[in-house]
Structure formats: structure tokens, C-alpha cells
Amino acid sequence: MTDVAATVREIVAKHASSSVGDDATPLGGEGVGLDSIALAEVLLECEGRFGAEVADLLDGGAVTVQRIVERIGAAARP
């Protein structure tokens, strides 16, 4: 999953003005600083890249690289 995390961090970096320090850092305003549109774009790009539904992460809790990677991993398990 480290490759997945690295790819998700790269996707976030394309949309953020600051880097993701820790995979548990919120990607929104209270952390990395992505606005809602940029955050949605990150999630949609992750869905396209990995084929796993992650956009619903916007519905609860802070969106982090860690949560995105966990969701992608869960979708990959049979």
C-alpha cells in the first residue's frame, strides 16, 4: 500500500499549495488547506486512478491520505 499512498500524495500535491506532512493530516482547511472543490477533485482523481469509490469520504470525518488509502485497500480485497 506504500505505492498507493505515494500516488495519493502526488495527486494531493497537484492540488495543494503545501505538502502533506503526515498521512493522517486532514487535507481540508484545518490541515493541508484544500478547499471543497480541490478536495473533491482529489477524490475523483483517486477514484479514476484506482477504481475504488472514495468520494463518499466527504460525508464524514476529516479526509486524509490515510483514509483514502484504507478505502482503496478495502475495495481491492475480495
Collect all residues with Cβ–Cβ distance below 8 Å to 50 and sequence separation of at least 6: 4, 72, 75
Decide if pLDDT at 29 tops 90.
no
- pLDDT band at residue 7 under the 50/70/90 scheme: very high
Collect all residues with Cβ–Cβ distance below 8 Å to 60 and sequence separation of at least 6: none
Angle at 36 between CA 16 and CA 56, to 5 degrees: 110
Give yes or no for a contact between 25 and 32, defined as CB atoms under 8 angstroms apart: yes
| Pick from 21-30, 38-47, 69-78: least confident | 69-78
Q: φ and ψ at 45, to 5 degrees?
A: -65, -40
Average pLDDT of every residue of the chain: 91
> Domains in the chain and their CATH numbers?
2-76 (1.10.1200)
Kindly report the pTM of this predicted structure.
Answer: 0.90
Q: What is the rounded CA–CA span in Å between residue 55 and residue 51?
A: 11
Question: What are the pLDDT digits (tens) for 31-46?
Answer: 999 999 999 999 999 9
| Pick from 12-21, 31-40, 63-72: least confident | 12-21
